[in-house]
């Protein structure tokens, strides 16, 4: 019920859905992304890890069009998307969430969901005046879909509340549900577990796993190594704006380069920190 299903959805294994080649981005001479090259396979959960300042979020921002890269090439599902505006990339089915959730505070939860629905006729300025009946039909369909998703994500009781009143974890759930309204093919999750209580976090991961089984591709930036090791099929490690290694969780765990990267970034934070991060058995324990 796992990757075979992905193939059934039209993705053949081995052909990456997202390819980034030699992506570069700098701010005032400081390179945030310094020639990152990586690929993401469809219908899998890929984790992007690395010490603080490794360039993970900057990389996300480049891939999703929020920053224009200084160099390099990015293609999604065979089409070049380098330098395209964020909304155009999102419409192609490559959708992201944000590290600090961006729920639209003074809109209701339901409106947050409805806003995300793609191809809305009513979003053109004159149809609102000239063709209200067309809009009504579409709105009803979108509302139904939104309510279904809210039901699934246990947010249905909150549908008429302002998004600002949700807890941090509920906002993360709302952001994922909202992304799904867009019927994406791939979702980039930027620290989905940050600030989320364990119960909600578990539920969120459950949803992610289920969606993967249905053929959705995920890339997640995450600091909680438990999560990374448990849910992801592939781990890509970045340091200093470059990809230093990639592989299965087990391969990465024991990779010397990775350990060095964390060591280098942490200064004196040393072996213990690494042990803690990767939950390795210590000699004395």
Partner 1 sequence: MEEALQLIANGVVIGSVIAVAAVGLTLVFGILRLINFAHGDFLTLGAFAAVVGTGAGLPLYVAAIPAILVGAGVMGGLEKVLWGPMRRRGASTVNLLIISIGLALVLRYTLFWIFGSGVYRYGPISQRIDFGLFALTPQDVIIVVGSAAALFGVALMLQKTRIGKAMRALSDNKDLAEASGIDVNRVTMITWLIAGALTAYGGIMLGLQGRVFANMGWFLLLLIFAGVILGGIGSAYGAMIGSMIIGVTQELATHSAIGLPSDLKTGVAFLVLILVLLVRPQGIMGRKQAL
Partner 2 sequence: MIPYIEGVILTAGIFALLAQGLNLHWGFTGLINLGHVAFFAVGAYTMGILNTQFEVPLLPSFLAAMVAATLMGVIVGLPAIRLRTDYLAIVTITIGEIFRLILKSGPGVSELTRGPRGIRGFSNDFYFFRMDIGLGFLSPTQYLLLIVWVTVAVVGVLLYLLIKSPWGRVLKGIREDEDAVRALGKNVTAYKMQSFALGAAIAGLAGVFFAMDIGSLAPDTYLPIITFQVWTIMMLGGSASHSGPVVGSIIFWAIFNGTLFIPREIISGAEAAYLRQIGIGALIMAIMIFRPQGILGNREEMALDK
What pairs with residue 76 in β-bridges?
Answer: 18, 79
Residue 67, contacted partner among partner 2, partner 1, none, CB below 5-8 A by kind: partner 1
Residue closer to partner 2 (CB basis): 96 or 242: 96
Rank residues 105 and 141 by Cβ distance to partner 1 and give the closer one: 105
Q: Which is nearer to partner 1, 134 or 164 (CB)?
A: 164
Q: Which residues contact 216 (CB under 8 A, 6 or more apart)?
A: 43, 184, 185, 186, 187
CB of 91 to partner 2, least distance (A): 4
What are 187's strand-pairing partners? Answer: 95, 218
SS3 state of residue 267? coil
Give which of partner 1, partner 2, none residue 29 binds (C-beta under 5 to 8 Å, depending on kind): none
Distance between CA 211 and CA 160 in Å, rounded?
Answer: 26
First to last CA, the chain: 38
Both tokens of 116, joined, read: 């995300």
Distance CA 153, CA 191 (A): 18
Residue 129 touches which of partner 1, partner 2, none (CB < 5 to 8 A by kind)?
partner 2
Residues lying near partner 1 in the complex (CB under 8 A) are found at 27-28, 57, 61, 66-67
* SS (HEC) of 25-50: EEECCEEEEEEEEEEECCCCEEEEEC
CB 217 within 8 A of CB 13: no
In angstroms, give the least distance from the CB of 139 to partner 2. Answer: 7
Q: Which is nearer to partner 1, 68 or 80 (CB)?
A: 68
Which option in partner 2, partner 1, none does residue 118 bind, with CB closer than 5 to 8 A by kind?
partner 2
User: By C-beta, is 61 or 112 nearer to partner 1?
Assistant: 61
Nearer to partner 1, 101 or 142 (CB): 101
280 SS3 class: coil
27 binds, among partner 2, partner 1, none (CB under 5 to 8 A by kind): partner 1
User: Smallest distance, Å, CB 104 to partner 2?
Assistant: 4
Three-state DSSP class for residue 263? helix
Q: Which does 136 bind (CB under 5 to 8 A by kind): partner 1, partner 2, none?
A: none
Give least dist CB 115 to partner 2, A: 5
CB of 12 to partner 2, least distance (A): 27
Nearer to partner 1, 38 or 62 (CB): 62
Distance (Å, whole) CA 152 – CA 131: 32
115 binds, among partner 2, partner 1, none (CB under 5 to 8 A by kind): partner 2
Binding site for partner 2 (CB under 8 A): 64, 66, 85-87, 90-91, 95-98, 102-107, 111, 114-116, 118, 120-125, 127-129, 132, 135, 138-139, 162, 164-165, 178, 182
Distance of CA 187 to the CA centre of its chain: 5
Q: Look at the alpha carbons of 209, 75, 63, 223 in this order and tell me if their dihedral is positive or negative.
A: positive
The answer to whether 73 and 24 have CB atoms below 8 angstroms apart is: no
């Amino acid at each position: 019920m796992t990757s075979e299903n992905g193939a059934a959805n039209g993705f053949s294994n081995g052909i990456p859905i997202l390819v980034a080649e030699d992506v570069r981005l700098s701010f005032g001479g400081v390179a945030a992304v310094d020639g990152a090259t990586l690929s993401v396979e469809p219908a899998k959960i890929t984790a992007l890890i690395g010490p603080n300042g490794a360039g993970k979020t900057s990389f996300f921002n480049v891939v999703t069009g929020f920053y224009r890269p200084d160099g390099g090439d990015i293609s999604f599902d065979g089409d070049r998307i380098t330098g395209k505006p964020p909304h155009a990339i999102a419409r192609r089915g490559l959708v992201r969430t944000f590290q600090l959730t961006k729920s639209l505070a003074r809109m209701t939860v339901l409106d947050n969901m409805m806003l995300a629905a793609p191809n809305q006729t009513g979003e053109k300025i004159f149809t609102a005046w000239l063709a209200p009946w067309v809009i009504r039909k579409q709105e009803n369909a979108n509302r139904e879909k939104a309510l279904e998703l809210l039901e699934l994500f246990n947010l249905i009781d909150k549908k008429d509340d302002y998004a600002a009143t949700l807890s941090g974890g509920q906002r993360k759930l709302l952001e994922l549900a909202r992304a799904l309204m867009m019927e994406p093919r791939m979702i980039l999750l930027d620290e989905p577990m940050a600030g989320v209580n364990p119960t909600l976090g578990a539920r969120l991961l459950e949803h992610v796993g289920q969606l993967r089984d249905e053929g959705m591709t995920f890339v997640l930036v995450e600091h909680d190594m438990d999560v990374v090791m448990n849910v992801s099929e592939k781990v890509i490690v970045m340091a200093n704006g470059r990809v230093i290694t990639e592989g299965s969780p087990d391969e990465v765990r024991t990779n010397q380069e990775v350990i060095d990267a964390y060591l280098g970034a942490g200064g004196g934070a040393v072996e213990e920190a690494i042990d803690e991060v990767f939950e390795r058995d210590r000699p004395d324990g």
